[in-house]
Amino acid sequence: MNAKTRGNKGEDEAALYLENAGLEVLERNFRTRTGEIDIIALDGEPPNGTIVFVEVKNWGHYGIENLEFGIDEKKQRKIIETAKYFLSKYRKYRCMAVRFDVIFIAPEDGTQPSRLLTHLVSAFAESI
């Protein structure tokens, strides 16, 4: 399986996980000049809910201990800038709480009926 197919499969799994957890997936693969956000979801109802920007890491060979290399400060800045653009475009969400999550999907090892998914809630925040 190539990286793009694996990535799409992982994002499908992550979106299903979020929906099963009660979140509403608003957008997938939201792109701007600045960057891309894999999943944008709503946790609760506006205006009291939280808008959740989710980065999905679906690596074929690396473990969660390598996550800091995949979501370094530069990647976080790109996600944050893209989130700001989303909020300026969709103004009805701009007064809501904002959260940046990461969903890590463990590599397939052939021994599990489904892959292990780890949801890191509030994995990072915007630095002041």
Question: What sign has the CA pseudo-torsion 44, 46, 55, 99?
Answer: negative
Task: For residues 22-39, give the mean pLDDT.
Answer: 96
Q: Which of 76, 81, 75 is nearest to 32 (CA)?
A: 81
The token pair that represents 51 in the structure block: 């808008």
pLDDT band at 113 (very low <50, low <70, confident <90, very high): low
The domains of the chain are located at: 3-124
Is the pTM higher than 0.85? The answer reads yes
Residues 54/101, Cβ–Cβ less than 8 Å: yes
74 vs 121: CA distance, rounded Å: 19
pLDDT band at 114 (very low <50, low <70, confident <90, very high): low
Residues 100/125, Cβ–Cβ less than 8 Å: yes
Task: For residues 33-48, give the mean pLDDT.
Answer: 93
Any idea which fold 3-124 has? Trna Endonuclease; Chain: A, domain 1 (3.40.1350)
57 vs 104: CA distance, rounded Å: 5
Quick: pLDDT tens for 59-86: 766 666 777 777 889 999 999 999 999 9
